[in-house]
Structure 1
Amino acid sequence: MGLVTEIVALPAAPLRGVMWVLDKVVRAAEREYYDPGPVQEALAALERERQEGGVDDEEFEQREQALMRRLEEIRAYQLGQAGPGGA
């Protein structure tokens, strides 16, 4: 029965290959998009910019809030990926 199944499924092999590649691309894109590192670096750079006087308090607050929302989104995604059992 295994040989017959392989022969019948043979025409779908290219599709399975494409789906495998797409899955790998999506996973890599998600890892990059949900990486907190760049957001944390942007927060540190924003703080340095404020200390150097390159940004006023109002602009700092707005940009900081946007970055913090992004970090919250990343953490929520990571918690969702961890599943109901936690980390």
Structure 2
Amino acid sequence: MGLISSVLTLPIAPIRAVLWLGELIQDQVEQQLHDPATIRRELEEIDEAAGGGCLTDEEKAAAQQAVLNRMIRPDTGAPPI
């Protein structure tokens, strides 16, 4: 029976491969997005930009809060209530 099911599901194998690849890429992006080193680097870049005069105090606070919110509440993909 395994051979028959393999032959019958062969046409959808490329679709399953694309889905698997998409899931793999999504996992890697989420892992990198929530990595503490990445978050620290982003906060340092915000501080450098503010120190260089590229950001106002309000923009700096908003950018830092966005990074910290991502760290505290990782996006689960669900829309907010």
Do both share a fold (TM > 0.5)?
A: yes
Change (3 A) 1:65 1:31: same
Please give the secondary structure, in 2, of the residue aligned with 1:77.
Answer: coil
Shift of 1:74: 2.5
Larger radius of gyration: 1
Answer with 34-43 or 24-33: which moved more: 34-43
> For the residues of structure 1 that align with 2:32 and 2:6, how far apart are their CA atoms?
36
In the TM superposition, 1:6-85 aligns within 5 A as: 6-44=6-44, 46=47, 54=52, 59-60=56-57, 62-77=59-74
> For the residues of structure 2 that align with 1:37 and 1:31, how far apart are their CA atoms?
11
Higher fraction of helix: 1
Percent identity, aligned pairs only? 26
> For the residues of structure 2 that align with 1:2 and 1:44, how far apart are their CA atoms?
55
Q: Is there any run of 5+ residues in structure 1 with no aligned partner, and where?
A: 81-87
Q: Is there any run of 5+ residues in structure 2 with no aligned partner, and where?
A: 77-81
| Backbone CA RMSD of aligned residues | 2.8
Change (3 A) 1:43 1:60: farther
Change (3 A) 1:44 1:29: closer
Shift of 1:61: 5.6
